[in-house]
Amino acid sequence: MACAYRIPKFLQFFIIFTIISCSFSRLVSANVELDEDNWKQILDGEWMVEFYAPWCPACNALAPVWRDLSTQAARKSLAMRAAEVDVTKSPGLSGRFVVTALPTIFHVIDGEFRQYKGPRDVDSMLGFVQQKRWQQTEPVPAWKAPHSLQMTLVAEFFKLSQVLRSVHTMLMEQYGLPTWGSYLIFAIGTILIGALLGLLLVCIIDLLYPPRRSDKVLVSAAEARHRDLDGKGVDDEQELINDDIVDDNEKDSDAEKNSASDSSSSEAAPAAGGDVADDKPEVRKRRPRKAD
């Protein structure tokens, strides 16, 4: 009877110990689920990060290996920790890390990012960390690092694309719009937003680089004529006087030529009569100048 009583006690103790051990092991080997809020914790220490999706067959095949990775790392007292990102829940992180295929694995140590492209078994990944084979791989450039400004903007665009996709789905499912109707709404919205951004850009350029003012002043025709006369008054007047004098001389010469015969006959007449005419100086009459 005593033996029958002790065996259940022993089994009960063994079951409790097993449950506690499994729970402790699960806590130690649990992978960290990263999202938009807590992803920056991988910038400190050493990490192996997997990007996956629930609908990806290759990701589902890698899932047990990935769970075992953190367990083996804990048993070997490695400082490396494992984390995973569900791209369907955190699309911004997939854009931030430029994930183009699934699953994608990154090795991160003290803010340096390297993509792991080796075999996807536990021993190979642990050897990559334990033997520091990651030093043979070029890190991601600084401008392309997930925590850089450029990749932050890319992540925001990825978030915006997911929002637009959800709006497109809502317009078709809840409001019953056809596909072309939803596309038409997005096209009109894009044109309006582009026009507003263009107007804003023009205003900013005019503010930073204002247009130069022209030195030319618009005046009336009468004022322009008056300014021309004031500027060259003496020269124009002298030129006009010279023109008048030349015209008078030409007229007098023509008149003398025409009256040559008359003068000769008149000179002959006094000689015949014996009367000598008194010489009178010729008076030149100036032609009146036309008013401007």
Q: Active-site residue numbers? A: 56, 59
Which of 56, 150, 50, 149 minimizes the C-alpha distance to 99? 50
- Give me the residues paired with residue 33 across strands: 84
Backbone dihedral region for residue 132 (phi beyond 0: left; psi -120 to 50: alpha; all else: beta): left
Q: Across the strands, what pairs with 32? A: 83
Positive or negative torsion for Cα 268, 273, 275, 281: negative
The set of residues, in sequence order, having a beta carbon less than 8 Å from that of 46 and lying 6+ positions away, is 79, 80, 81, 107, 108, 109, 110, 129
Residues 6+ apart with CB under 8 A from 20: none
Pair 87, 157: CB distance under 8 Å = no
b (16+ CB within 10 A) / e for 42-56 = bbeebbbbbbbbeeb
Helices (H), strands (E): how many in the chain?
9, 5
What is the bridge-based pairing of β-strands 104-109 and 112-116?
A: antiparallel
Contacts of 160 (CB under 8 A, 6+ apart): none
